[in-house]
Structure 1
Amino acid sequence: MYRVDDEQRRIRLGRRHLLAPSARVTSAVTVSDAVVALHATDAATLYLSVCARLSDPGVGVVEQALYEDVSLVRLLSMRNTLFTVSTDVAPAVDASNARSVATKERSKLLKHLREDGKGLGEQWLADTERQTLAALNTRGRATGSELSAAVPALRTKITVFPGTKQETVQGVASRVIRVLAADGRIRRDRPRGSWTSSQFRWTAAEPWPVSDASAAREEVAMRWLHSYGPGTESDLKWWTGWGVRETRAALAAAGAEEVLLDNGAVAWVAPGDVADEPSPEPWAALLPGLDPSAMGWADRSFQLPAAHRAALFDRAGNIGPTVWWNGTIIGGWAQRSNGELVWRLLADVGEEASRLIEAEAARLSAWTDDARITPRFRTPLERELTS
């Protein structure tokens, strides 16, 4: 059995995730495909992740792909999380993950409607969805508030979790819109405000063609192996949110090959992907919270020293903004309210690393300009740096 050591895993990351300067590209779509999917729960993360991998970073490159070309789309998919993927990858992600998420979202909403006791159910939801789509088609694009103003049913309030400590009264607008988006019948358009805003407008969309879920899982597994391999079965199961049976079947269908890791664990690579790769030039990176290079594996020990974890993760397991040196996470960064970019290194990495980190910070500051970036999931180190 071939062995892929931790150093080779870090080399692959620098090359395949487009983080070494010589690996950077000019297209936001190329970036997305290189990492399979970009986290999009935090609006700013998407831009920061893409621009860290562009040779000429800028907001306009990402906006062009999202809103003009629509070559990048957001899907509620893996682990019931919002991701951005290219339109080439979207059908496989939709069939392998997003369809089941959409089914659960609809079931959850219908359960809340029934428990509310007003007699609302499937027919009411279908009528409300139809009215919402009609209003959106008339307007072209609209915010949730604008849709609620146009569709009286969206102003309905229901009691969720009645009779429990969690009982509360909520409006249905956001839930109905979430279900429509999960079904692929609407999509997020330009936000109100800047690129860091999550107050999106919505526009009509066409659902992705129905395709075989097993074949879609095979494709997603193969893409993940090319981008993140070697990775363990547990890594892929965690990243996708699939069950053990689906994960094993996808790896088998993809023809994944076994390799050994430095810690003795058995991992998987794409067929034939066992040869060592040459080291790229020394590189540093400042990546945002939830960046895919930190979120691609359940076990990050090859890139993240255990002693650094407490400072860089929140209590829910979300990683914050990180500083990287040649494939290892060595610290964290933040932006203060006055726009100043600050960072703290958790390891002594030498003069060359410090110089390249400063250059990356300057590059990041140049394209973000006067934007203010506060991660949605705040970590101990990020909070310390901005206090």
Structure 2
Amino acid sequence: MRVRHISVAERRARLALRHRLADGAGAASPEEVADSLVALHATDPATVHLAVGARLNDPAKAVPETERALYEERTLVRMHGMRHTVFVFPAELTAVVHASTGIAVAARARAALIKDMAKAGAPDAAWLKEVEEATLAALARRGQATAAELAEDEPRLREQFVYAAGKGYEGVHTVSSRLLRVLGVEGKVVRGRPLGSWTSSQFRWALAPAHPELDVAEAQCELLRRWLASCGPASEADLKWWTGWPVTQVRRALTAMGAEEVSLDEGTGYVVAGDADPVPEPPRPWAALLPCLDPTAMGWQQRDWYLPPRLRPALFDRSGNVGPTVWWNGRVVGAWAQRPDGEIVWRLLDTEDVGREAETAIAEQAVRLRSLLGPARVTPRFRTPAEKELAAR
């Protein structure tokens, strides 16, 4: 049987339609956005709202509707997921993420905490278990609470221990910060409403919603199926990177779900079974201003088909985090930033096949973004050379 080749142009068309960026492909709610993208990066809290706003039919609803979904109706949940990273997921996907990814990460995180405490001469695992149980009980009473508030009920959370004593990166860790992170990856607590506005990175904690315990292999198939439906085709390297799983688990899930093999410019790729047929082109060229760590910009490890390698030094920080990006018709062509007075400024870094139509459309997206932000000021948590330069001018 002949393997179908999916071109770069078709991959860009799939991205535009399935990531709700093309004209006419927008979403009515944050839940629709999250369902289409599987996961929204949430390491930078503003990213969630801006990623939603870039895809909503009415961007003015991005902040209030995302707040509703996250903190009132809990249809979206902020929790640790793939690669030990904080994401926002549809609530119905939390059990899948926990079983497919969280369990293994959590076991390593708890073991590392116990090991670090033992090296520092801190109390043992039994003591830590007592503190954990008291902390969860306090959180159940309070509903939501900061680490400082929880420490009022369980003072042992304030205790500190030295991490990596004698090494160049030696530091002092507080039991509360490490324990709450472990409880997060174990699926026992989630991040609740932030202190301050929607741009704040200081969060309250809340008990995680109850979810069924799923079979690990079945959960991995389901997560991969959903992601390929949104982001396929993708290479094995993309899948391994996005999930954070060993390649053996990626291959096992691909086989179990009956993924279909296709040909890409960089080699072999995979799609959900039956999804190799051509897709229609978007009705017209489209522009978008996407925030730092946007799930589309960070969706694949192999990015040459939508992000020219020559642009990477300006658009990524040293840890591989992408900054705010300007898109034209399926590829990254520039960067944007918000200045202290609120103005949205942007610059084309790649002018290949970018003409007046593109510049007009990008300028319209900048006006749309400025309206979404209102009085808010957003500085990316991970700053990149292009963003810093634009913001300072």
TM-score range, shorter chain: over 0.9
Matched, 1:359 2:361: no
Aligned equivalent of 2:278: 276
Distance 1:137 1:238 in 2: 36
Q: Is the 8 A contact 2:79 2:191 kept in 1?
A: no
**C-alpha deviations, 1:42-97, integer Å up to 9, x for none?**
00011111111100122011011101110111221111111111012221111111
Aligned equivalent of 1:47: 49
**C-alpha deviations, 1:327-383, integer Å up to 9, x for none?**
110000000111111011012211111111111111111111011111111111001
User: SS of 2:190's equivalent?
Assistant: strand
The CA deviation at 1:116 is 1.4
The CA deviation at 1:229 is 0.9
The counterpart of 1:89, out of the listed 90, 93, 116, is 93
Aligned equivalent of 1:228: 231
Please tell me the root mean square deviation across aligned C-alpha atoms, in Å: 1.2
Matched, 1:377 2:379: no
Gaps of 5+ in 1: none
- 1:204-219 mapped onto 2 (5 Å cutoff): 204-219=207-222
Gaps of 5+ in 2: none
Distance 1:132 1:306 in 2: 47
Distance 1:370 1:47 in 2: 15
Distance 1:358 1:228 in 2: 27
The counterpart of 2:75, out of the listed 71, 81, 85, is 71
- 1:11-50 mapped onto 2 (5 Å cutoff): 11-50=13-52
The CA deviation at 1:171 is 1.5
Q: Is the 8 A contact 1:184 1:208 kept in 2?
A: no
Matched, 1:171 2:177: no
Distance 2:207 2:263 in 1: 47
The counterpart of 1:146, out of the listed 146, 149, 157, is 149
Q: Is the 8 A contact 1:59 1:195 kept in 2?
A: yes
**C-alpha deviations, 1:229-250, integer Å up to 9, x for none?**
1110111001000111001011
Read off the aligned partner of 1:313 and give its amino acid letter. F
**C-alpha deviations, 1:109-167, integer Å up to 9, x for none?**
1111111113x111111111111122222222211111123311011111111233333
The CA deviation at 1:204 is 2.1
User: SS of 2:24's equivalent?
Assistant: helix
TM-score, length-normalised on structure 2? 0.95
Q: Is the 8 A contact 2:84 2:185 kept in 1?
A: no
Aligned equivalent of 1:319: 322
Q: Is the 8 A contact 1:183 1:207 kept in 2?
A: no
Distance 2:209 2:357 in 1: 50
- 1:215-364 mapped onto 2 (5 Å cutoff): 215-263=218-266, 265-280=267-282, 281-348=284-351, 349-364=354-369
Read off the aligned partner of 1:133 and give its amino acid letter. L
TM-score, length-normalised on structure 1? 0.97
Please list every run of at least 4 consecutive aligned residues from structure 1 whose deviation after the TM superposition is greater than 4 angstroms.
Answer: none
Aligned equivalent of 2:117: 113
User: SS of 1:285's equivalent?
Assistant: strand
The CA deviation at 1:310 is 1.1
Aligned equivalent of 1:62: 66
Count of residues in correspondence between the two structures: 385
Read off the aligned partner of 1:7 and give its amino acid letter. A
Distance 2:141 2:211 in 1: 22
